[in-house]
C-alpha cells in the first residue's frame, strides 16, 4: 500500500498558492512541491489531491492508495462524493475519476501534526513564488 500525503497552502485567501505531495512505501519516499498560482485554500487542497493522484497514476498505477489530508472539508467531500460548491465540483469530479483507476483507493483525514512533510513542501512552493 502506498501512503500519499497531500497539502495545499495559500498566502492570503485567495492568494499565491502551493501544494505538497509525499509518497511513502517501505523504502521508497518521493516529495513534490508545485506553485499553482492564485486560488483559495480549499482549492489548493483539492488540487493537491488531484496532483497526488496523477503522480501515483504515473508511478504506481496498480497500487492500493491511502490518501491522507488534513483538510476535513476535502476528505468529507470526497467520501460523500458530493459538493454544492460550483467551484469545487470540477475538482471533485476529476479526483473521483482518478481514484476509480486504482484497484483500491481511500482517503483519510489526519491531524496537521501528521502532515508536516506535505505542509512544509506546500509552504516552500509559496515561498518560491514570493521570492521571484
- Pairing status of strand 105-109 against strand 28-39: unpaired
Number of domains in the chain: 1
- If 0-12 CB within 10 Å is exposed, 13-18 middle and 19+ buried, where does residue 61 land? exposed
Measured in degrees and rounded to the nearest 5, phi and psi for residue 84 equal -85, -20
pLDDT band at 47 (very low <50, low <70, confident <90, very high): very high
Is the pLDDT confidence value at 129 over 90? no
CATH number at residue 90: 3.30.420.10
Question: In sequence order, what E strands does the chain have?
Answer: 2-10, 15-25, 28-39, 65-69, 105-109
Give CA–CA dist 53/31, Å, rounded: 13
Confidence (pLDDT) at 127: 87
In which domain, by residue range, is 38 found? 2-131
pLDDT band at 53 (very low <50, low <70, confident <90, very high): very high
Could you read off the pLDDT of 92-124 as tens digits, one per residue? 999 999 999 999 999 999 999 999 999 999 999
Could you read off the pLDDT of 74-84 as tens digits, one per residue? 999 999 999 99
- 72, 70, 9: which is closest to 37 by C-alpha? 9
Amino acid at each position: 500500500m502506498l501512503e500519499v500525503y497531500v497539502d495545499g497552502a495559500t498566502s492570503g485567501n485567495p492568494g499565491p498558492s502551493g501544494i505538497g505531495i509525499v509518497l511513502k512505501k517501505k523504502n521508497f519516499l518521493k516529495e513534490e512541491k508545485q506553485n499553482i498560482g492564485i486560488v483559495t485554500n480549499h482549492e489548493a487542497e483539492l488540487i493537491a489531491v488531484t496532483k497526488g493522484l496523477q503522480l501515483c497514476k504515473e508511478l504506481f498505477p496498480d497500487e492500493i492508495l491511502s490518501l491522507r489530508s488534513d483538510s476535513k472539508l476535502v476528505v468529507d467531500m470526497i467520501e460523500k462524493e458530493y459538493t454544492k460548491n460550483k467551484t469545487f465540483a470540477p475538482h471533485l469530479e476529476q479526483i473521483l475519476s482518478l481514484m476509480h483507476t486504482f484497484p483500491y483507493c481511500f482517503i483519510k483525514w489526519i491531524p496537521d501534526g501528521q502532515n508536516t512533510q506535505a505542509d512544509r513542501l506546500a509552504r516552500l512552493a509559496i515561498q518560491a513564488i514570493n521570492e521571484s
